[in-house]
């Protein structure tokens, strides 16, 4: 009996040790994952005066505005001297669906300028919103039910039931799909030359409101130089953020950290400081880990105090 008890005790102890070791490995894996994620803020022109407080608040880098390559090269030196990196350029809104030749040409030139600035900064991506549509009848965010042709990318329907009242929206969306695909494709050689990814973002521009459809659009370029810049707060009104993260997966090149508070009925709401809204941050954090995202987390949309923003971002990265 004594020997039998000793054997059982040994097996139980071994099991506990194994479980404890596994938990320890998981903890170390989570810690290593958190270390790979980098914290950033958005700035305009990254001068020493602007960057120093950001470093002191505990950030690793910034996303900057478009400047000349010469100014970007100088800013890179300043950032590196402070131990920061300028990881991305915020190009913002373009008009690849414009019917005005001068606006379309401006979109090409401005995107090329952003790519050149990013190269000089030492950044590896630019944030680009291809275009926007509006001014016509469209479903409410919670009523969208997208069906599309996988060959053409064109919409078949956007809501349940009769879609006749949405025909203008569908036509505008199809045109935006085609012209954005064509325009951005022409910029891929410049992206490859500069070594800078064109990361496409949705900013309530009434396009690609379904994660599967957005993934389809990214895939249509068939190029590693066109990926997604995913804002964690922009899409809450359409579907839970974690759903978007899991569907977009490896297509996500960069992440904006923002929050949105849905109304009590789940319809509509307002942007709020990060961790004060409806984004389920622990679940989103797990989703980011599950897709292997280990890049930059750039705060957009408060809080204004840099130290507080840094603290809240630390909690998000820790899965809290």
Residue 23 has pLDDT above 90, yes or no: no
> Would you list the domain boundaries of the chain?
38-135+185-317
The arithmetic mean of pLDDT across residues 199-204, rounded, is: 94
What is the radius of gyration, based on Cα positions, of the chain? 23
Lowest mean pLDDT among 25-39, 112-126, 177-191, 259-273: 25-39
Residue 190: C-alpha distances to residues 1, 17, 108 (Å) = 78, 55, 11
pTM (2 decimals)? 0.88
Q: What is the pLDDT of residues 90-124, one digit of tens each?
A: 999 999 999 999 999 999 999 999 999 999 999 99
What class has domain 38-135+185-317?
A: alpha beta
Determine the pLDDT at residue 166: 98
């Amino acid at each position: 009996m004594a020997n039998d008890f000793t054997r059982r005790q040994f097996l139980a102890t071994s099991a506990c040790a194994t479980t404890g070791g596994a938990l320890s490995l998981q903890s170390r894996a989570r810690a290593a994952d958190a270390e790979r994620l980098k914290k950033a803020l958005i700035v305009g022109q990254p001068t020493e005066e602007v960057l120093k407080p950001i470093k002191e608040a505990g950030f690793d880098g910034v996303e900057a505005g478009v400047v000349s390559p010469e100014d970007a090269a100088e800013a890179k030196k300043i950032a590196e001297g402070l131990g920061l990196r300028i990881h991305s350029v915020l190009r913002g809104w373009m008009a690849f669906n414009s019917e005005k030749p001068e606006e379309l040409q401006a979109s090409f030139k401005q995107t090329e300028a952003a790519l050149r600035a990013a190269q000089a900064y030492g950044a590896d991506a630019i944030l680009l919103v291809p275009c926007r549509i509006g001014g016509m009848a469209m479903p409410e965010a919670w009523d969208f039910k997208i069906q599309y042709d996988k060959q053409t990318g064109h919409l078949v329907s956007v809501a349940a039931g009769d879609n006749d009242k949405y025909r203008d929206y569908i036509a505008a969306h199809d045109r935006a799909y085609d012209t954005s695909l064509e325009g951005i494709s022409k910029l891929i050689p410049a992206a490859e030359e500069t070594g800078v990814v064109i990361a496409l973002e949705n900013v309530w521009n009434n396009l690609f409101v379904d994660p599967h459809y957005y993934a389809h659009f990214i895939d249509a370029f068939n190029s590693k130089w066109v990926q997604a810049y995913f804002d964690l707060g922009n899409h809450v009104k359409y579907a839970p953020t974690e759903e978007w993260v899991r569907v977009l997966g490896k297509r996500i090149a960069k992440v904006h950290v923002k929050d949105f508070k849905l109304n009590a009925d789940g319809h509509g709401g307002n942007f709020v400081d990060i961790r004060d809204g409806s984004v389920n941050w622990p679940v989103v954090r797990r989703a980011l880990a599950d897709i292997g995202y280990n890049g930059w987390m750039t705060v957009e949309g408060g809080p204004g105090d840099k130290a507080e923003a840094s603290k809240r971002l630390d909690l998000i990265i820790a899965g809290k």
